[in-house]
Structure 1
């Protein structure tokens, strides 16, 4: 049995050698976009193949389409490149496409609507092989809500005129109660889920006796409890600036709206030098009284030591505080008295202020 088995194995090896010794070409390697559906796994030497682009792709110009299996079992080269067809992006979507105006074949656009809007049409569109989209852009239609109900002992004032029996998402209104009652909340709207705000409760509300504000006064008010939407007006003492609304109102919560604040004036904190204030240059000794109102601007003059020129730096009075710019150097008595024309405010002004020094770095001595 052993010699017979050895002979059989030798025959199989010889047969295998005979079959596989012939050179052939495998399936040609091709880039994306080339149609591989008609390509075989094995080709004989001398066989030719015509390469074509898949549906939805365009061939490059003047490209070699035919390739041949050579005696070395290699394919002749081809410079065929297939690029996808492009679909024009709808103009309304181009700002969202980062400036692109086209999308390649097989691209997908997914559409969604903002809260309070429902989509009408397909929420997805694909770029087809012929350069068109499978679906047009859908529309986003605002949700409709039923008209709101008025509160008991009250009425509704709509922000915009309403016709019909519905209102659109985002539209709002104000609830009002018959005096002297106040609504538990004042605003309502058509919400994203298609519902409207429930009507508030009308109840009697009063605000406490109004009080004065620091450095200010009540212009006129009877010292009593005040009803809903009654008002009180404030003013400030001389040279103090009113910050906020002068008039406060009794709210539906039984509290007053925010009171204004009287902001203090500032003193220009230098003894020697010249400033720019109220449209003109002023020596500090001529600023009488030494007072700048809250919110007013004062320019101090600094020296650009490299260019030997002066430049203004603006500071603003903020409730009694007027910061002095770090670059400002107050002159000594002799310099101020005898060499005033050499001060930064009097020499040639710089074309531009020097670049700011980072706060982390120490100032030069």
Structure 2
């Protein structure tokens, strides 16, 4: 008699459970970013309604600033078309070049600030875009590091690049150390450094430079056979038809060496026997170039033939220290063609409307 009662009780419990759990509910409504979710519950009864609004720092992108949705009998929510966009903070104009063309930043954005070496930050090192479209902090200032005034060398003085006022210098300011003649400083330049320190003063010592060596294809214009003192100068010049490259004047330096000497660059010979060139604003037959000499850095134009178009075109070459490359496209005419048909040469026929793409040049041909 006990078993049937037990079965009946179990069936009643199952029926009761089914009855209680058959009623549908809605979970938390699905929302997009920016919607205020602080008042939303985890479970809602059928028929309950919720008013959706944009959270702090966001604006509705639709005409409606709110949206009501309801829990349906199927356990789903009615549709909502409320979309929220973050408020924007205008990027300060001085920072816009660093913002990749952007002029605004969205709510919650963070700007981090740093200063270059040698500068100290005055202000906050970050700023956040707030809900009202403003920044939490203004951009800081980067102030140059301050250094004490430099000390003069013993038996010498300091010459500042810019006038100094007050008892300090700032990062980046520089000066020159000078010693009483004929002594020279062990180093000549000093500055206010990024760590707030200044260059220690140099030692003033006796320095001289040996009698200067000559230069190839050139000579010193004024030179006495003796050592030269610190900061003494002399000049170089080149032999006839050679071009001086570099500073003509050299100076005895504090290291006991002369500053960099110049070079004398050699002239070139136009390495063709037959043809016409354009040189020094004139169109010349090569036989009329007397002497056959082009100075370093000067240009010579050769004439090439565009065989497809049947026209001529110019190609320039430059003399470089004794070498004048002949363009690859240049074809030197034979003796008969040069003597009997000179008007058929590329230099004499009609010029092309446009020159072909540039081609490489080759070393000068033997004269």
TM-score, with structure 1 as normaliser: 0.91
Match of 1:173 among 153, 172, 175: 175
Mean Cα deviation higher: 218-227 or 283-292: 283-292
Q: 1:329 maps to what in 2? A: 331
Match of 2:76 among 67, 74, 77: 74
Q: Where do residues 1-365 of structure 1 align in structure 2 (5 Å cutoff)?
A: 13-62=14-63, 65-356=67-358
SS in 1 for 2:255: coil
Question: Whole-Å Cα distance in 2 between the matches of residues 219 and 188 of structure 1?
Answer: 34
Question: Whole-Å Cα distance in 2 between the matches of residues 199 and 11 of structure 1?
Answer: 103
Question: Whole-Å Cα distance in 1 between the matches of residues 151 and 338 of structure 2?
Answer: 76
Q: Does the C-alpha gap of structure 1 residues 320 and 14 become closer, same or farther in structure 2, counting only changes over 3 Å?
A: farther
Question: Whole-Å Cα distance in 1 between the matches of residues 90 and 67 of structure 2?
Answer: 29
Question: Whole-Å Cα distance in 2 between the matches of residues 8 and 304 of structure 1?
Answer: 110
Q: Does the C-alpha gap of structure 1 residues 89 and 208 become closer, same or farther in structure 2, counting only changes over 3 Å?
A: same
Deviations 1:218-263 (A, max 9, x none): 1111011111111121111011111111111111111111111111
Q: Does the C-alpha gap of structure 1 residues 305 and 125 become closer, same or farther in structure 2, counting only changes over 3 Å?
A: farther
Deviations 1:64-108 (A, max 9, x none): 722222233222222221111111111111111111111111111
Question: Whole-Å Cα distance in 2 between the matches of residues 296 and 78 of structure 1?
Answer: 79
SS in 2 for 1:51: strand
Alpha-carbon offset, residue 13 of structure 1: 4.6
Question: Whole-Å Cα distance in 2 between the matches of residues 96 and 339 of structure 1?
Answer: 67
Give the RMSD, CA atoms, in angstroms. 2.4
Q: Does the C-alpha gap of structure 1 residues 245 and 74 become closer, same or farther in structure 2, counting only changes over 3 Å?
A: same
Q: Does the C-alpha gap of structure 1 residues 42 and 269 become closer, same or farther in structure 2, counting only changes over 3 Å?
A: same
SS in 2 for 1:76: coil
Q: 1:362 maps to what in 2? A: none
Mean Cα deviation higher: 117-126 or 325-334: 325-334
Question: Whole-Å Cα distance in 1 between the matches of residues 92 and 298 of structure 2?
Answer: 52
Unaligned runs of 5+ in 1: 360-365
Unaligned runs of 5+ in 2: 362-367
Contact preservation (8 Å) 2:328, 2:360:
no
Q: Does the C-alpha gap of structure 1 residues 338 and 106 become closer, same or farther in structure 2, counting only changes over 3 Å?
A: farther
SS in 1 for 2:339: helix
SS in 2 for 1:50: strand
Alpha-carbon offset, residue 9 of structure 1: 6.4
Q: Does the C-alpha gap of structure 1 residues 46 and 319 become closer, same or farther in structure 2, counting only changes over 3 Å?
A: same
Alpha-carbon offset, residue 117 of structure 1: 1.0
Alpha-carbon offset, residue 130 of structure 1: 0.7
Alpha-carbon offset, residue 331 of structure 1: 2.9
Mean Cα deviation higher: 63-72 or 313-322: 63-72
Mean Cα deviation higher: 331-340 or 186-195: 331-340
Alpha-carbon offset, residue 151 of structure 1: 0.3
Contact preservation (8 Å) 2:328, 2:359:
no
